[in-house]
Amino acid sequence: MRDNPVLRIVAKIIIPVILLFALYVQFHGDFGPGGGFQAGVIFAAGFILYGLVFGTEALRNAIPPGLLRFVIALGLVLYAGVGATTMLLGSDYLAYGALADDLIGGQHLGIFLVELGVGITVSAVTVTIFLAFAGRNDP
């Protein structure tokens, strides 16, 4: 597919839009449908489209596997770290109210951080699974 100019150009135009839409779904999940899971999958879909059109080798160059392995753990650590932080602040595990002076502010910050953690790990795992399967076909 690397030689097809229509696919290449359409992919180059649409991938930034997909990534931007994923960020919208991620940060707008408090107000509309969406959240970390959906945003992570859509964000990964942008990378997978890049891998499908330009080849998995190009995708591997764009995100090194070592970085991917780090990012998989990063999201889960961020989520669990929010819980550890609320405990250190003297509250229960994942009781976000302790993160700010008022309950609503703490809830907003806590939900923002854990959804971000979900999005990071989901997108990294999805790209990893795609690379692990599709990358085995490389010559």
Partner 1 sequence: MLIEAINIVLLGMLALTALAAVRLHDLFAVTIMFGIYSLLAAVVFVVLDAVDVAFTEAAVGVGISTVLMLATIGLVGRHEQRPAHRPLLPLLVVAVTGAALVYGTLDMPFFADPAAPVHQHVVPYYLGKSPEQTGIPNVVTSILASYRGYDTLGELAVIFTAGVGVLALLGLRRRKRPAKEHPTP
Question: Which one among 53, 72, 98, 99 touches partner 1, defined by CB under 8 A?
Answer: 72
Q: How far apart are CA 85 and CA 134, in angstroms?
A: 39
Question: Which one among 14, 41, 87, 109 touches partner 1, defined by CB under 8 A?
Answer: 41
| Contact between 60 and partner 1 per CB under 8 A | yes
| Contact between 128 and partner 1 per CB under 8 A | yes
Q: How far apart are CA 117 and CA 113, in angstroms?
A: 6
3-state secondary structure 58-103: HHHHHCCHHHHHHHHHHHHHHHHHHHHHHHHCCCCCCCHHHHCCCH
Contact footprint for partner 1 (CB under 8 A): 25, 29-38, 41-42, 44-45, 48, 52, 60, 65, 68-69, 72-73, 75-76, 79-80, 83, 93-94, 96, 103-104, 107-108, 110-111, 114-115, 117-118, 121-122, 124-126, 128-138
